[in-house]
């Protein structure tokens, strides 16, 4: 079994925040939305249901944990959770805090507005804030 490596596009588009038991926890570098991406550190997975039975419960627990962290940090109007993977094949789960005044509301976020990368001080601030709630 080859060792896990993060998809290059995911690596380029995100900032690593922490690692949990199953997933790497990444921040999407798009200041339009507080947007986490969970990537199970397993090789060869594409779909959510490709997770081994033993990993499914942990994946679900980590989705809940990421959702609660975003709620705590940002008090969003809604959480969006999705495993799509039509472009990047490696299984990854989006957990996104939504606001009624965000640039895509009420549509899903993907492909609506161009990504707006964080500035350097802004990125340091949001990463610190998220690390505090993600544990």
Q: Is 123 in the site for a second copy (CB under 8 A)?
A: no
Could you give the angle at the alpha carbon of 114 between the alpha carbons of 66 and 36, nearest 5°? Answer: 10
Q: Name the token pair of 63.
A: 């989705």
Dist. CA 23–CA 46, nearest whole Å: 14
Question: By CB under 8 A, which span of 8-16, 30-38, 75-83, 124-132 interacts with a second copy?
Answer: 75-83
Among 3, 75, 106, 121, binds a second copy (CB under 8 A): 106
Residues 110, 48: contact at Cβ < 8 Å? no
Q: Is 98 in the site for a second copy (CB under 8 A)?
A: yes
Phi-psi region of 39 (alpha: psi -120 to 50; beta: other; left: phi over 0): beta
Among 3, 54, 101, 111, binds a second copy (CB under 8 A): 111
- Give contact residues for a second copy (rule: CB under 8 A): 46-49, 56-57, 59-61, 63-64, 67-68, 78-87, 98, 105-108, 110-111
């Amino acid at each position: 079994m080859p060792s896990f490596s993060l998809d290059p596009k995911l690596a380029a588009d995100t900032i690593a925040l922490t690692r949990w038991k199953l997933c790497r926890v990444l921040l999407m570098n798009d200041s339009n939305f507080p947007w986490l991406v969970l990537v199970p550190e397993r090789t060869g997975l594409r779909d959510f249901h490709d997770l081994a039975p033993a990993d499914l419960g942990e994946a679900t627990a980590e989705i809940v944990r990421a959702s609660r962290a975003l709620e705590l940090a940002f008090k969003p109007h809604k959480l969006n959770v999705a495993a799509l993977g039509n472009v990047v094949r490696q299984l990854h789960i989006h957990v996104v805090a939504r606001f009624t005044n965000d640039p895509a509301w009420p549509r899903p976020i993907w492909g609506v507005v161009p990504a707006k990368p964080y500035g350097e001080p802004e990125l340091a601030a949001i990463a610190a804030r998220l690390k505090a709630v993600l544990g």
